[in-house]
Amino acid sequence: MILLAGSPGLAAKQVAGVVKNVKGEASIERSGQITSAIVGAKIYQKDVLLTGPGGSMGVIFRDDATLSLGPDSRIVVDEFLFSPADGKFSFVSKITKGTAAYLSGKIVKLAPESARVETPLAVLGIRGTRFVVKVE
């Protein structure tokens, strides 16, 4: 019998992205636990990305897309699937407050209908290469 150490189920999850840069107060909420965001921290599906006043965070996803969060932002990486060999693609995030800039990656190029950002008032289908959204 082989026992694996670490968070149960986390090893089975695919890494969606990695924190590229952080300025000021920024954190990641995962399964109800909040940790400070640091450069190199892994991002998984269902993670909540948070920034405080004056804080910012940049994330690069496995499909080479980038997401930049401005101050006082809250974004959930609701769904991320990048499996070109299986033809499976999905990027769905939900921004409930703050600002975010997105630069698309391979998911949008290979399956544009598979990427979207949801806000409290609208759903943005991503068909181009970049956009900025602000939710107050």
Q: Does the pTM exceed 0.75?
A: yes
What whole-number distance in Å separates Cα of residue 86 and Cα of residue 109?
A: 16
**8 Å CB contact between 92 and 118:** yes
pLDDT at 4: 37
pLDDT tens, position by position, 6-61: 444 444 578 999 999 999 999 999 999 999 999 999 999 999 999 999 999 999 99
Q: Which region holds residue 28: left if phi is over 0, alpha if psi is between -120 and 50, else beta?
A: beta
For 101, the enclosing helix (H) or strand (E) is strand 88-103
Pairing of strands 88-103, 115-118: parallel
Distance, CA of 79 to CA of 117 (rounded, Å)? 10
What pLDDT was estimated at residue 30?
97
**Amino acid identity for residue 54 in this structure:** G
Model pLDDT, residue 12: 53
* Least trusted range by pLDDT, from 38-47, 105-114, 118-127: 118-127
Note the Cα 120 to chain centre separation in Å: 17
Q: What is the pLDDT of residue 17?
A: 97
User: What tokens were used for 97?
Assistant: 């407050």
pLDDT digits (tens, 9 = 90+) for 59-87: 999 999 999 999 999 999 999 999 999 99
Where are the chain's structural domains?
A: 15-128
90-107 pLDDT, tens digit per residue, is: 999 999 999 999 998 999
Tokens of 89: 């693609």
Count the helix, strand and coil residues of the chain and give each as a percent rounded to the nearest 5: 10, 55, 40
| Paired strand residues for 79 | 92
